Amino acid sequence: MKKVLTMFLIILLCVSAFSGCDNVLPQNGGSQTTDDTLNTNAECAHNWILVSSSEEKYECAECKETHLCVNAEDLVKAGHLNESTLIYKCRICGSEHLTTDPNSINPDNEINDHVPYDSMLNLEIIDGKFRFQRIATTPCIVYSNSPITDMSNGTMYDDRHDILTAIFRATDGKDAIMDTTECEFLHYIYMFDNEREDVPWHYRFAICSCGAVMITNNNQFLCTIKISDDEIQTILDSFGINQGNPENHNWQVTSQTSDCWSITVNYACSKCGMEKFTHEDSALPYHSWAEKTDEGKTTFSCIRCNESYTFLSEIRTFSYAQALEEYKIGDPGVKHEHFNNWNVESEITGAIDAIVRAKFELTIEYDTISVSYDEISNMWRVDFWTLDLDGNSQSVYINGNGLTCYIVYGE
> What was the pLDDT predicted at 252?
80
Mind listing the pLDDT tens digit for each residue in 150-168? 777 788 887 677 788 888 8
pLDDT in tens, 205-234: 999 888 899 999 888 888 999 999 889 988
Determine the pLDDT at residue 374.
Answer: 97
Q: Tell me the average pLDDT across 140-146.
A: 85
Output 91 or 228, whichever has higher pLDDT.
Answer: 228
Q: Is residue 306 part of a domain?
A: yes
Whether the per-residue pLDDT at 8 is higher than 80: the answer is no
Express each pLDDT in 310-367 by its tens digit.
999 999 999 999 999 999 999 999 999 999 998 889 999 999 999 999 999 999 999 9
- Mean pLDDT computed over 287-296: 94
d(CA 184, CA 201): 25
For residue 147, the model assigns a pLDDT of: 87
Q: Grade residue 306 by pLDDT with cuts at 50, 70 and 90.
A: confident
Based on the domain organization, do 85 and 163 belong to the same domain?
Answer: no
Is there a single domain that holds both residue 269 and residue 177? Answer: no
pLDDT at site 210: 86
Higher pLDDT, 358 or 70: 358
Output 281 or 48, whichever has higher pLDDT: 281
* Residue 71: HSE in the Cβ half-sphere, 13 Å Cα cutoff: 20
> DSSP state, 160?
-
Q: Is residue 246 part of a domain?
A: no
pLDDT, mean of residues 377-395: 92
Give yes or no for a contact between 224 and 179, defined as CB atoms under 8 angstroms apart: yes
* Same domain, residue pair 134 and 212: yes
Judgement on whether residues 124 and 110 belong to the same structural domain of the protein: no
Q: What is the pLDDT of residue 65?
A: 63
Question: Is residue 93 in a domain?
Answer: yes
- Residue 380 and residue 354 in contact, taking contact as beta carbons nearer than 8 Å: yes
Whether 66 contacts 23, CB under 8 Å: no
pLDDT (mean) for 252-262: 87
Q: Where are the alpha helices (DSSP H) in 239-342?
A: 320-326
Model confidence band, residue 294 (pLDDT cutoffs 50, 70, 90) = very high
Residue 84: the pLDDT is 41
Decide if 383 is inside a domain.
yes
Same domain? For 227 and 138 the reply is: yes
Quick check: is 35 in a domain?
no
For residue 68, is it within any domain? no
Number of domains in the chain: 4
The dihedral through the CA atoms of 316, 320, 322, 326 has a sign that is positive
Instruction: Tell me how far the alpha carbon of residue 88 is from its chain's centroid.
Output: 32
Which structural domain, as residue segments, surrounds residue 85?
75-115
Question: What pLDDT does residue 40 have?
Answer: 36
Residue 142 reports pLDDT greater than 60: yes
Most confident of 4-18, 133-147, 317-331: 317-331
What confidence category does residue 87 fall into, taking pLDDT thresholds of 50, 70 and 90?
low
Percent of the chain whose pLDDT exceeds 90? 33
Statement to judge: residues 103 and 176 lie in one domain:
no
Q: Are residues 339 and 379 in the same domain?
A: yes
pLDDT in tens, 270-287: 766 667 778 888 888 889
Percentage of the chain beyond pLDDT 70 is 62
Question: CA distances (Å), 259 to each of 255, 278, 288, 357, 360, in order?
Answer: 14, 14, 10, 18, 18
pLDDT in the model for residue 213: 93
pLDDT at 308: 95
pLDDT above 80 for 295: yes
Asked, for residue 210, whether it belongs to a domain, the answer is yes
Dihedral over Cα of 148, 152, 154, 157: its sign: positive
pLDDT at 340: 92
Q: Is residue 18 part of a domain?
A: no
218 and 141 share one domain: yes
Co-location of 312 and 381 in the same domain: yes
pLDDT of residue 290: 95
Q: Please report, for the domain that includes residue 231, its CATH number.
A: 3.30.1490
338 and 227 together in one domain: no
Query: CB neighbours (10 Å) of residue 113?
Result: 12
| 405 and 297 part of one domain | yes
- Residue 140 and residue 189 in one domain: yes
Residue 213, strand partner residues: 207, 225
